[in-house]
């Protein structure tokens, strides 16, 4: 199988090692093994062997390990946040709020909800012929879940997916990005310290070839988060062996600001939503549509607030926005900005790298007077850019918001909640927030995922748990000594009886139903059954 390359390769040490660098300082954090395919196959085999006992464990036994993990993570939050900041570049404050806090809340949700989620569920039978049966729905773990995780949220993304899989009785083999592997290794360390069998979570490190090897190994489902292009290759490889997939493939999320919105609130949301994590968030505000009556005031407020942002190393306490992950991603952002300016966009802030801070820093950028011929309004930028244009009517705003191949999330700002919710129903996205942005990812009960090119399936919440299990229906007949009326022993009389039975159940008027009931009566008294 061909390798699935990530955006760029991390700096290579020896052939079987990968050097990991801090994107803010360029210092080497450490090296990780670039595992060979046979090592990954062996990891999957170990996980499968351990999974049987884990699936047989009670929900309470699993919960005890999760509780201990939660306590350890809470106690060591600063140390884990420091690891996240060093390898991803983001401020430690963001590591706490958008990563560690999300994971701790997920643990609480799993503790509260998983017991009832996994409880056998009675299935009612409305068909009179089936009233002597008892139906039960069970949720069975797949076995071994493969998780391929990106670099932008290196702790919360793999943790939420891994914990959901483990809570439902699966084992996990996790392949983190080679740019940010140490956050996943922290997850593994803390879970093992909490008492998890080491073989139940295997973190495999390496480049794109490691992800390809994981897909080739005997996993039972794959959860992938990354680009559309790579996601399509993952889906093609999985389809060859009918491997179930969950794909979260990013977005081009629109933000609509209606004329009655609070400009101060909406502009703060836009600035944070576009520049948080240096814009490297699938839920970032990547398109902003503002009613023409408040357009210039909104832009002025955004420019003023952007000018107050402190750009720097995420390890420094006052930093608001850190570096991008690597230079290639920065060049993509620069090309999108340059294309927009050539096509007539107004540059109001930023627009260039901050080379004096390091090779991966790009100034938070605001562009105005956008149109959909510009690359930045159609392709995922994944950088600190806020592109803004005006609209005149709600219908136009909805049309612009839906004019994208992506459909992950969106937001609407208005002082009229009912109006915002009505507009939300018209937007094609997996999540629409009214008067907030991005925070939906931190709501453990809410499903996360999109439509169109934004992916397949869901993570988080009940729908995320459903992705980790397969439904088994168990049907038990209450009359084991009774032959069933639809068994063999056919003939003309039985055919007439079945016609009557259909009429009894589904005929349009009452007289036909009564007549059908009379014709079908003898079917219950049949004696010539094989």
CATH class, range 38-249+462-471: alpha beta
pLDDT, residue 521, reads: 79
Q: Domain 254-444 maps to which CATH number in 3.10.180.10, 3.40.309.10, 3.40.50.720, 3.30.830.10?
A: 3.40.309.10
pLDDT, residue 493, reads: 83
Assign 455 a pLDDT band (cuts: 50, 70, 90): very high
Q: Is the pLDDT of residue 520 over 80?
A: yes
Three-state DSSP state, 174: strand
pLDDT, residue 66, reads: 98
Q: What is the mean pLDDT of the chain?
A: 94
C-alpha distance from residue 13 to each of 18, 109, 210, 245, 475 (Å):
5, 41, 17, 33, 58
**Number of alpha carbons in the 13 Å side-chain half-sphere of residue 375:** 13
Assign 4 a pLDDT band (cuts: 50, 70, 90): very low
Pairing of strands 133-141, 469-477: antiparallel
pLDDT, residue 344, reads: 98
Report H helices in 343-436.
394-402, 417-424
Cα four-point dihedral sign 33, 36, 38, 43? positive
Judged by average pLDDT, the poorest of 186-190, 244-248, 323-327, 504-508 is 504-508
Residues 6+ apart with CB under 8 A from 304: none
Residue with tokens 């729908």: 463
Q: Report CA 416 to chain centroid distance, whole Å.
A: 30
What is the per-residue pLDDT across 337-375, written as a single tens digit (0 to 9) for each? 999 999 999 999 999 999 999 999 999 999 999 999 999
Whole-number Å distance between alpha carbons of 445 and 440 = 9
pLDDT, residue 484, reads: 83
Q: Is the pLDDT of residue 529 over 80?
A: no
The counts of H helices and E strands in the chain are 17, 20
Largest CA distance in the chain: 92
Percent of the chain at pLDDT exceeding 70: 96
Assign 197 a pLDDT band (cuts: 50, 70, 90): very high
Assign 522 a pLDDT band (cuts: 50, 70, 90): confident
- Mean pLDDT calculated for residue range 292-301: 98
What is the per-residue pLDDT across 374-401, written as a single tens digit (0 to 9) for each? 999 999 999 999 999 999 999 999 999 9
Q: Is the pLDDT of residue 196 over 80?
A: yes
For the residues of 189-248, what is the DSSP string, one character each? HHHHHTT--GGGEEE---SHHHHHHHHHSS-SEEEEES-HHHHHHHHHHHHTTT--EEEE
Assign 524 a pLDDT band (cuts: 50, 70, 90): low
Which pair of structure tokens corresponds to residue 451?
């439509």
Q: Is the pLDDT of residue 215 over 60?
A: yes
Whether 38-249+462-471 shares its CATH topology with 254-444 is answered no
Nearest to 227 by CA among 381, 440, 416, 414: 381
Alpha-carbon dihedral 94, 99, 100, 101, rounded to 10 degrees: 80
Nearest to 411 by CA among 285, 228, 501: 285
Assign 476 a pLDDT band (cuts: 50, 70, 90): very high
Q: Which residues are catalytic?
A: 248, 282
What is the per-residue pLDDT across 243-291, written as a single tens digit (0 to 9) for each? 999 999 999 999 999 999 999 999 999 999 999 999 999 999 999 999 9
> Domain-by-domain residue ranges, the chain?
38-249+462-471, 254-444, 483-525
Give 3 or 117, the one with higher predicted confidence. 117
Give 65 or 517, the one with higher predicted confidence. 65
Residues 6+ apart with CB under 8 A from 122: 134, 135, 136, 137
Assign 330 a pLDDT band (cuts: 50, 70, 90): very high
- Mean pLDDT calculated for residue range 292-319: 98
Which pair of structure tokens corresponds to residue 192?
């093992």
What is the per-residue pLDDT across 15-55, written as a single tens digit (0 to 9) for each? 689 999 999 999 999 999 999 999 999 999 999 999 999 99
Whole-number Å distance between alpha carbons of 503 and 474 = 29
Q: Is the pLDDT of residue 494 over 80?
A: yes
Assign 498 a pLDDT band (cuts: 50, 70, 90): confident
């Amino acid at each position: 199988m061909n390798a699935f390359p990530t955006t760029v390769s991390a700096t290579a040490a020896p052939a079987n090692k990968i050097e990991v660098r801090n994107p803010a300082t360029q210092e080497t954090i450490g090296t990780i093994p670039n595992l060979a395919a046979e090592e990954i196959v062996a990891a999957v085999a170990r996980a499968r062997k351990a999974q049987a006992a884990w699936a047989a464990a009670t929900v309470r036994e699993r919960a005890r390990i999760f509780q201990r993990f939660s306590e350890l993570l809470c106690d060591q939050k600063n140390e884990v946040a420091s690891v996240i900041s060093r390898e991803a570049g983001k401020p430690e404050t963001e590591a706490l709020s958008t990563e560690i806090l999300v994971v701790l809340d997920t643990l609480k949700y799993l503790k509260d909800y998983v017991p009832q989620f996994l409880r056998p569920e009675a299935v009612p039978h409305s068909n009179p012929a089936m009233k002597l049966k008892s139906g039960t729905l069970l949720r069975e773990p797949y076995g071994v879940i493969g998780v391929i995780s990106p670099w932008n949220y290196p702790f919360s993304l793999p943790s939420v997916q891994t914990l959901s899989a483990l809570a439902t009785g699966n084992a996990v083999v996790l392949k983190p990005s080679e740019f940010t592997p140490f956050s996943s290794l922290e997850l593994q360390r803390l879970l093992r310290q909490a008492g998890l069998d080491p073989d139940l979570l295997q973190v495999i490190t390496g480049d794109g070839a490691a992800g390809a090897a994981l897909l080739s190994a005997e996993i039972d489902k794959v959860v992938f988060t990354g680009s559309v292009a790579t996601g399509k290759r993952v889906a093609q490889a999985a389809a060859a062996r009918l491997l179930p997939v969950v794909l979260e493939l990013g977005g081009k999320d629109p933000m609509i600001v209606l004329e009655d919105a609070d400009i101060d609130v909406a502009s703060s949301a836009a600035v944070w939503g576009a520049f948080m994590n240096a814009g490297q968030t699938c839920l970032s505000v990547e398109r902003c549509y503002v009613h023409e009556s408040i357009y210039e005031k909104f832009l002025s407020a955004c420019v003023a607030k952007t000018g107050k942002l402190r750009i720097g190393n995420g390890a420094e306490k006052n930093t608001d926005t850190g570096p991008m992950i690597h230079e290639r991603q920065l060049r993509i952002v620069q090309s999108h900005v340059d294309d927009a300016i050539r096509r007539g966009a107004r540059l109001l802030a930023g627009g260039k790298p901050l080379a004096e801070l390091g090779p991966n820093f790009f100034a938070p950028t605001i562009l105005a007077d956008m149109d959909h011929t510009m690359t930045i309004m159609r392709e995922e930028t994944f950088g600190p850019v806020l592109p803004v244009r005006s609209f005149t009517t709600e219908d136009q705003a909805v049309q612009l918001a839906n004019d994208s191949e992506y459909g992950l999330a969106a937001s609407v700002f208005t002082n009229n909640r009912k109006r915002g919710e009505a507009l939300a129903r018209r937007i094609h996205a997996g999540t629409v927030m009214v008067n907030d942005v991005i925070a939906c990812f931190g709501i453990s009960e809410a499903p996360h995922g999109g439509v169109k090119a934004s992916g397949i399936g869901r993570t988080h919440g009940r729908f995320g748990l459903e992705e980790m299990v397969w439904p088994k229906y168990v049907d038990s007949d209450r009359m084991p000594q009774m032959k069933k009326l639809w068994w063999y022993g056919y003939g003309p009389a039985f055919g007439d009886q079945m016609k009557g039975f259909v009429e009894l159940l589904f005929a349009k008027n009452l007289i036909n139903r009564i007549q059908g009931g009379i014709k079908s009566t003898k079917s219950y008294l049949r004696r010539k059954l094989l």
